[in-house]
């Protein structure tokens, strides 16, 4: 069965510092991987996706993620945090052969940005 683990329910960084949010997955087939961002009382917005093309994926707002098959990881990074990055981030996985495109979500990481 697929699963997603996000290490750290809360991550705090200073403005301008590197952002690193961790995501590990388990899947018996090649996965599709996604990162979403959620601001308070809003829906989820897609940041980026990995669908078996380039292993380094660039997304919106300066975020990127690298798919590492050997480590079953898909960590999200941003070189320099902005105050506007404070939000909750979710990693999700689906199986490439699953036509239902069901997503399995991690429990989320809340990013706090200190001035």
Partner 1 sequence: DGGITQSPKYLFRKEGQNVTLSCEQNLNHDAMYWYRQDPGQGLRLIYYSQIVNDFQKGDIAEGYSVSREKKESFPLTVTSAQKNPTAFYLCASSGLVGEQFFGPGTRLTVL
User: What is the smallest separation between the CB atom of 96 and partner 1, expressed in angstroms?
Assistant: 8
User: What is the smallest separation between the CB atom of 49 and partner 1, expressed in angstroms?
Assistant: 5
Closer residue to partner 1 in complex, CB, 41/70: 41
Closer residue to partner 1 in complex, CB, 15/22: 22
Closer residue to partner 1 in complex, CB, 12/80: 12
Q: Does 55 bind partner 1 (CB under 8 A)?
A: no
Question: Residue 75 to residues 20, 23, 98, 99: CA-CA distances in angstroms?
Answer: 7, 5, 23, 25
> DSSP labels for the chain?
--EEE-S-SEEEEETTS-EEE--EEE-SSPEEEEEEEE-TTS-EEEEEEE-SS-SEEE-GGG-EEEEETTTTEEEEEESS--GGG-EEEEEEEEETT-TT---EE---EEEEEE-
User: What is the smallest separation between the CB atom of 94 and partner 1, expressed in angstroms?
Assistant: 5
Q: Does 26 bind partner 1 (CB under 8 A)?
A: no
Q: Does 46 bind partner 1 (CB under 8 A)?
A: yes
> In the complex, which residues of this chain contact partner 1 (CB under 8 A)?
4, 9, 32, 34, 36, 41-46, 49, 51, 90, 94, 98-103, 105-108
């Amino acid at each position: 069965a697929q699963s997603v683990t996000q290490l750290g329910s809360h991550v705090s960084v200073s403005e301008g510092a590197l952002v690193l949010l961790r995501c590990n997955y388990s899947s018996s087939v090649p996965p599709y991987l996604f990162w979403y961002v959620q601001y308070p009382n809003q829906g989820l917005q897609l940041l980026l996706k990995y669908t078996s093309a380039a292993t380094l994926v660039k997304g919106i707002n300066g975020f990127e993620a690298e798919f590492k098959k050997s480590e079953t990881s898909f960590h999200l990074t941003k070189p320099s945090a902005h105050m506007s990055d404070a939000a909750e981030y979710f990693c999700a996985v689906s199986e490439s052969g699953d036509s239902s495109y069901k997503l399995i979500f991690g429990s989320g990481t809340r990013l706090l940005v200190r001035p």
